[in-house]
Structure formats: C-alpha cells, structure tokens
Amino acid sequence: MTDATAPAPAGDVLLRVENLVKHYPVRVGVLVKREVASVKAVDGVDLELRRGETLGLVGETGSGKSTLARCIAGLHPVTSGHITFDGRDITNLPRQKMQPFRRDIQMIFQDPYGSLNPRRRVGSIIGDPFTVHKIASGDKRKRLVQELMERVGLNPEHYNPYTQALLAAAPAADPDEADSRQRIILVGDVPSPLLPPPGCRFHPRCPKAQELCSQVVPPLEVKSGDPETHRTACHFPVETGEDLARAADMLRDRAEPGLG
C-alpha cells in the first residue's frame, strides 16, 4: 500500500484524473424539490499530466472542457472518480484543506473582460495572489508584480494605466491573415447533455459523420501519422487541408440547401 499523502518523485505524474464524472441534478418542485434527471457534463475522463508537460483538450462548446478544469481546480465537486495531485488525493477536499493547493492549481479564464475589472489598476489585480497567499505585501509585492509584468512583455510603468486602458491597447488580429482562413461553421443544435445521442455525441452536426458514428462511441486513441502524445476520439478525423475544404463545402451545402 502506498502513502497517498507523500509527494510524487520529480519527473513522475503530477496530475492524475481517474474516471471523473460530473453530473448536475435537474430538480423540479416548489416547496419540495425532487430530482427528475441529470445533466452529464463530464462522463468518465481519464488523464495523466507529468511534470513539465502541457496537455491540451479540444472539443465543441458544451463538451465539458471547462467543467473538467473546474473539477480539477476544486471549484466544483465531482460526482465520482478521483483526482490526484502531486501524489495527494484532492477529490472533493473541503475548502480549508484545498487552500494549500491553490498556489499550484489555478484557472486562467479566456475572456479578459470576465477576468479583469476595468475599474481596478493593473498592479492591484496582478498583486492579489501575493496578498491572498500571504507571499508578499507593500513594496515587495509591487516589485514582484513589476518583475512579472516585465517578464510577459508589459511595461512595469503601467503598474498604476487602468485595466481598461490595457485592454484597449491590445493589438488587433491581422486582417489579411483572418481573411485567408477558411472558417468552418457548424450547423444544427449542440447535443443535449440531458439526452445525449447514441454513438459519438456530436455526430448530428458533424459534416463527416457516417452510420458508424451514430452507433459506436469513438475510442480515444493515436491516429495514423500523429505523434504518440496526440490522441483523438473520432472515427473519421480530419487529416489534410483537402479534408478541411471538403468539410467546409459540406457544411455550406447543409446551411444553404438547394444552392451551389
């Protein structure tokens, strides 16, 4: 038997997620609520992340990526499964016991307007973690914040041009590059997490879906030509630029029946 409280040796698995399930109950009633169904946000996820590695999860809106991250970070309790970080079981830890892990497990939200308050100063926002985790205060905190800003290419003098000004200074995307990209816009509704379809849950709106997709859940595996670290759950994955072009044409035909 291993000691689950002992940290893992350097180079070993830092994060392990085993059969993670997160279902949200659907309740009805006014005075007495009863559960009538459940939303299957995450349904049996396994992954390992070693020290120094970067892991990317790709999927449609509603596929459970953010929910999985929130469960790992301890922001949402899990329905079942296990989360191990640095050799310690952190599954559904109480808030007080999860606090020591907050310095190492954090979320960076993709929407800057949802993460940054335009009415607060840049230095104040970046310095919050130093205060929350009791790392530094006063002049030391200011120095550390300015060092971080310089490391990521921000002028340390901006410690005090409000966040709103910083957001406004962000460069716009290259219009020529944006025009050259071939966008693939999916049609149809996102699969219902209450009543997911059989087989691959995204086959109703996939341009490459075939009968197999509606019958068999695609396994997560390494596809031909991909590196060992790249795994895909798809019966007919996109592999070439020609595939992307065909997929775009098929989606265009679905969106505009009778045209073309």
C-alpha 94: how far from chain center: 23
Q: Which domains does the chain have, with CATH numbers?
A: 1-107 (3.40.50.300), 113-170 (no CATH), 177-260 (no CATH)
What are the tens digits of pLDDT across the range 244-258? 555 556 656 655 555
Distance (Å, whole) CA 30 – CA 256: 45
* pLDDT above 60: residue 23: yes
Q: What is the pLDDT of residue 184?
A: 59
Cross-strand partners of 17: 47, 83
**Per-residue pLDDT tens digits for 49-81:** 998 888 888 887 778 899 999 999 999 999 999
Amino acid letter, residue 237: P
- Read off the pLDDT of each residue in 188-212 and give the average, rounded to a whole number: 82
DSSP state, 196? P
pLDDT of 243 strictly over 60: no
* pLDDT at 260 > cutoff 50: no
What tens digit of pLDDT does each residue of 150-189 get?
A: 888 877 777 776 665 655 555 555 666 555 555 556 667 7
3-class SS at 90?
coil
Taking residues 1-6, what's their average pLDDT? 42
Residue 47 has pLDDT above 70, yes or no: yes
What does DSSP say about strands 80-85 and 88-89: parallel, antiparallel, or unpaired? antiparallel
Answer for the pair 201, 72: CB distance below 8 angstroms, yes or no.
no
Q: What whole-number distance in Å separates Cα of residue 167 and Cα of residue 119?
A: 12
Average of per-residue pLDDT values in the chain: 79
Cα angle: 22, vertex 28, 31; to 5 degrees: 125
Identity at 81, one-letter amino acid code: G
Q: Bridge partners of 26?
A: 37
Judged by DSSP in three states, 49 sits in strand
Confirm if 238 and 225 have CB atoms less than 8 A apart.
Answer: no
Q: Considering the entire predicted model, what is its pTM?
A: 0.61
